Structure 1
Amino acid sequence: MPNPRPRTTVPAPARPGRDLSRPLPAALSWTVLGVFAAALAIAYVVLDLAWWVPALYGAASVVAFAAYAFDKSAARRGAPRVPERTLLVLGLVGGWPGALVAQQAFRHKTRKRSFRRAFWTTVVLNVLALTVYLILVMRVLNP
């Protein structure tokens, strides 16, 4: 039986000093994720990337996605939250693709400007670390 009342969201009361801004376009997140997935797949096939690298990204992404889901649920219930530092570390160690999906799926951690800046910094640092790893592996394999 369909629900006769449409689901509405009640805006949270404004808290002074909150660092909120408009979220980035979702298309940007999905584009970054798609480009990264394609680049990782190409590196795996063309550069003979070790199997554990994509596996690490997959496992870390599942953990990050779950952490964001738990944090969003806790935020709604007023329960203890997952520290932002934990969410950022999960992204830094390779879980940022899962974090990005969770941010879009749950509309969570997309408006707080300081968190967004820190999150995208971890993405850049992670991708730079992967790039350095790939360069080192290519030099060892092809001296």
Structure 2
Amino acid sequence: MTFIPAALGLYTVLNITTFFLFWWDKRAAKQGDRRIRERTLLLFALMGGSLGAVTAQHMLRHKTRKQPFCGLLFAIIALHIAAVVVWAFFAGTV
């Protein structure tokens, strides 16, 4: 049963990292510095940092109206929810 603590640890690190990347990009936008690519932000969300991405989006008010970014982030969140539902369904049957 060491898989679950390791997975939760990885999930936590990914979400904190994703939040930090959103913060860094917001800071760079304000200062006119080099920005983080939207592709990179979405990739971290896809890898498991979607909670950190949404939290940063709302707390920092960053990339909240930018399309297609918001739509893609929503699709990633929907994919993660579907994966959890499927996993929960099949985990109970094994």
Interval containing the TM-score (normalised by the shorter chain): 0.7 to 0.9
1:89 aligns with 2:36: no
What is the aligned counterpart of 1:78 among 10, 32, 36? 32
Q: Percent identity?
A: 35
Structure 2: runs of 5 or more not aligned: none
SS at match of 1:50: helix
- CA 1:91–1:107 in 2, change beyond 3 Å: closer, same or farther? same
Correspondence for 2:57: 103
CA distance in 2, matches of 1:130, 1:53: 13
Q: How many residues align?
A: 92
SS at match of 2:68: helix
Mapping 1:1-143, distance limit 5 Å: 50-140=4-94
CA distance in 1, matches of 2:73, 2:38: 10
The aligned amino acid for 1:82 is I
The aligned amino acid for 1:138 is G
- Decide which moves more: 73-82 or 53-62: 53-62
The aligned amino acid for 1:92 is L
> Cα offset for 1:78?
1.5
* TM-score, length-scaled by structure 2: 0.84
SS at match of 1:76: helix
- CA 1:139–1:52 in 2, change beyond 3 Å: closer, same or farther? farther
CA distance in 1, matches of 2:26, 2:64: 12
Structure 1: runs of 5 or more not aligned: 1-48
Q: Which has the higher helix share?
A: 2
CA distance in 2, matches of 1:77, 1:134: 44
Structure 1 residue runs of 4 or more that deviate by more than 4 Å after TM superposition = none
* TM-score, length-scaled by structure 1: 0.58
C-alpha deviations, 1:2-37, integer Å up to 9, x for none? xxxxxxxxxxxxxxxxxxxxxxxxxxxxxxxxxxxx
SS at match of 1:51: helix
CA distance in 2, matches of 1:50, 1:138: 15
